[in-house]
Structure 1
Amino acid sequence: MRKLLFLLLIALLAVVGCGNNETEDASAPAEKEEGTDDLTPVKFALDWTPNTNHTGIYVAKEKGYFEEQGLDVEILLPGEVRVNQLLAAGKADFGISYQEGLTQARSEGLPLVSVAAILQHNTAGYASPVDKNITEPSDFEGKKFGAYGSDLEKAMMTTLMENDNADVEQVDFITTGDSDFFVAVERDVDFSLVYYGWTGIEAELRGVDLNMVYLADFADELDFYTPIIATSEEMISANPETVEKFTAAAVKGYEFAIDHPEEAAQILIDAEPDLNPDLVKRSQEWLSPRYQDDAERFGIQEKERWQKFADFLLENEIIDEAVNVDDAFTNEFLPEN
């Protein structure tokens, strides 16, 4: 059924063209804009509203790192069709994805590949106002959780609670979807899963004290790479030089953000003026040292961590078939420094 739905989606994309009149292919460059005749056009899709997970891409574009590599990069804002589907259909060449989403996509037949980890460790965790007294997984019992409604959510929480000798069935899952976290925890729920680098920093600015229970602190298999830079097997096969050039420029952009968080934040603010500048600056200050963290170089990915999480998904029946993680990621295109 999943493969049938995927085929139907591809057919739909071919018809609507994601807003274009003609179907495009990842291996066939789009029409070049005036003044960029000597540059290869590349489409990069964001997963969410522009934020500091994306800063390195904006830096690479503003600083001319992509142009130095002979690339004219267009940043696509998120729409109704998600990044993984855009990549698989050839409607985007690269994009922001997540290890959890890419692994599930590969299990469903979408040949996607991660070429770089944006963050070395998972910064997602269960956030709650301090007056809820939720400081460890066992405290989830008897509480209301603001959920998106996915099987993966419950599997992750089950793992953390079992490791803490607690029962996930004692948690009330309430589907809140994309509701504002601060409204939800004040009105509807006790805690929810967030990325501290954005929502946690916003809480600091609002003067809201939070307790955080990080996934990675309570289960090694949940220290997965999120977010990541992804592309398709077709792109790697047809245009390996473009993949190498794009990755080199993107890495340079993130390395700049590591060394110059203030300037990098301002580049993102200038490019996306609707963002809260205080939030961007504080978030960038918090996130910049976590891009590379304890890795030998930015972007590197370890097979062991991909395998642990793939096994977790299979054991919890989130995916139906085992995924060969050697095909799901590569460090081949990262610059050697």
Structure 2
Amino acid sequence: MKLKKIISIGVVASMIASMAVGCSGSTKETSENEQTRETTSIKISAINTVSWAPVFIAESEKFFEEEGLDVEFTTPGGPKGFQAMQAGDCEFSMLSQEPLLIAQEQGMQSKIIATMLKSRIYGLVSKKDITNISQLKGEAIYGSDAGSAPYTFTCSVLEEAGLDPMNDVSFIQIADQNAGMQALINGEVAAAFVNMSNLPVMGDFEYNILADTTQSDQCEKYLGSSDFPAEMICTTTEYAKENPEVCQKVVNAIVKAQAWISEHSDDEVATSLKPSFGDLDEEIISEEIGWVRDKFSSDGMISEDGEKAVVDMCVKSGLIKEAIAYDDVVDMSFVKAVK
């Protein structure tokens, strides 16, 4: 009996040892599989503003990683980043639609694969003693570069108030929007065009908001539609055609990020964005998110009506000569395929 018991114990011990070896081998194999999981490296030319927060959140919250993407953000962004994309130096570009539409008309083919915002976040702000747009008559103002979308918006605001942009105000040419806000603070202009998300950087300066397209009714009034999806991510038409799987992964990650933003507070979003925003104070980032939050797209979708509003604005401002068809520049197949 004792012998049988000893043999039985030995058999059980042997089985346990065998199982342990088997489990150990399985764990090692799984670990090796995880380590050798194929990843795709891509470059995205970046614009480090909260308008493109979903792209940066997709990186910081590891949604790109979940999709098997290794993302490198490159600079400069904007039109120069778009040119780099066209030259093959990066695969994707954060961009406003205007430069893309201009390039499209010139033969540089691109596809918009997702939007970040549902509409523009344009505004016109003034010094505190000006409370009505009509009071700008005879004043110097900053409205960005002549012919640009911000300039066209500023002219639209003036016209709606019964002013003639060419005769009733003086447009001051200044380097960029930050310089325009500084000119307002310094008293060099009576009003200035701004992206509303940038207002927190004006600090304690007292101003009045004369126009604000984060308000749907004003967006429709000044831009022609409450749906104006201009801030987007794009790739070349050729890349989208040859690499649909990669495009799908990029869009999957961005849509996950858009959902994440909607589920988290301004402060939480700011904390996640901080590594991508350099020296910008986290409190200011949080305030900027507060200005933009209601305009973030929830799904990256661009409607035909929304695209028409953007194109019509570009035609009106003279940026492009003729309207460009929706299907020529917009590819929502990836957004529609997100699960």
CA distance in 1 between partners of 2:135 and 2:235 (Å)? 39
Task: State whether residues 291 and 298 of structure 1, in contact with CA within 8 Å, keep that contact through their aligned partners in structure 2.
Answer: no
1:214 lines up with 2:212 in the alignment:
yes
CA distance in 2 between partners of 1:328 and 1:214 (Å)? 28
Q: CA deviation at 1:45?
A: 0.9
CA distance in 2 between partners of 1:144 and 1:217 (Å)? 26
2:41 aligned partner, one-letter code = P
Task: State whether residues 60 and 250 of structure 1, in contact with CA within 8 Å, keep that contact through their aligned partners in structure 2.
Answer: yes
Q: CA deviation at 1:275?
A: 1.4
CA distance in 1 between partners of 2:79 and 2:230 (Å)? 20
| Equivalent position of 2:45 in the other structure | 45
| Equivalent position of 2:125 in the other structure | 127
Pick one of 295, 302, 322 that aligns with 1:290.
295
Task: State whether residues 118 and 299 of structure 1, in contact with CA within 8 Å, keep that contact through their aligned partners in structure 2.
Answer: yes
Q: Deviations over 1:34-82 (max 9, x none)?
A: x8982111101113xx232232222211222111111100011326961
| Equivalent position of 1:270 in the other structure | 275
**Residues 308-323 of structure 1: pairs in structure 2 closer than 5 A:** 308-323=309-324
Task: State whether residues 42 and 91 of structure 2, in contact with CA within 8 Å, keep that contact through their aligned partners in structure 1.
Answer: yes
| Equivalent position of 1:85 in the other structure | 83
**Residues 1-337 of structure 1: pairs in structure 2 closer than 5 A:** 38-47=38-47, 50-78=48-76, 82-133=80-131, 135-136=132-133, 138-152=134-148, 153-169=150-166, 170-178=168-176, 179-185=178-184, 186-197=186-197, 199-203=198-202, 205-206=203-204, 208-214=206-212, 216-221=219-224, 224-261=228-265, 262-292=267-297, 297-334=298-335, 335-337=337-339
Q: Deviations over 1:188-221 (max 9, x none)?
A: 2122211111x22333x43533324135253343
CA distance in 2 between partners of 1:126 and 1:80 (Å)? 22
CA distance in 1 between partners of 2:135 and 2:245 (Å)? 51
1:54 aligned partner, one-letter code = W
CA distance in 2 between partners of 1:312 and 1:290 (Å)? 19
| Equivalent position of 1:9 in the other structure | none
- The alignment's TM-score, normalised by the length of structure 1, stands at 0.78
1:322 aligned partner, one-letter code = A
Q: Deviations over 1:302-335 (max 9, x none)?
A: 1112223323433443312332222111221115
Task: State whether residues 41 and 72 of structure 1, in contact with CA within 8 Å, keep that contact through their aligned partners in structure 2.
Answer: yes
| Equivalent position of 2:9 in the other structure | none
2:54 aligned partner, one-letter code = G
CA distance in 1 between partners of 2:154 and 2:179 (Å)? 21
SS of 2:153 mapped into structure 1: helix
Q: CA deviation at 1:164?
A: 3.2
CA distance in 2 between partners of 1:324 and 1:213 (Å)? 30
CA distance in 1 between partners of 2:331 and 2:76 (Å)? 25
CA distance in 2 between partners of 1:91 and 1:214 (Å)? 37
CA distance in 2 between partners of 1:182 and 1:314 (Å)? 27
SS of 1:115 mapped into structure 2: strand
Q: Deviations over 1:136-187 (max 9, x none)?
A: 3x44422212243231354433333333332112110110122534421124
Q: Deviations over 1:97-117 (max 9, x none)?
A: 112232222122221222111
In structure 2, relative to structure 1, the CA distance for the partners of 1:77 and 1:267 (3 Å cut) is: farther
Which blocks of at least 5 consecutive residues in structure 1 are unaligned? 1-34
- Computing the radius of gyration from Cα coordinates, the structure with the larger value is 2
CA distance in 2 between partners of 1:140 and 1:101 (Å)? 30
- The alignment's TM-score, normalised by the length of structure 2, stands at 0.78
SS of 1:175 mapped into structure 2: coil
Task: State whether residues 116 and 228 of structure 1, in contact with CA within 8 Å, keep that contact through their aligned partners in structure 2.
Answer: yes
Task: State whether residues 229 and 310 of structure 2, in contact with CA within 8 Å, keep that contact through their aligned partners in structure 1.
Answer: no
Percent of aligned positions that are identical: 22
In structure 2, relative to structure 1, the CA distance for the partners of 1:222 and 1:101 (3 Å cut) is: farther
Task: State whether residues 115 and 231 of structure 1, in contact with CA within 8 Å, keep that contact through their aligned partners in structure 2.
Answer: yes
2:294 aligned partner, one-letter code = P
Which blocks of at least 5 consecutive residues in structure 2 are unaligned? 1-34, 214-218
CA distance in 1 between partners of 2:79 and 2:100 (Å)? 15
In structure 2, relative to structure 1, the CA distance for the partners of 1:272 and 1:36 (3 Å cut) is: farther
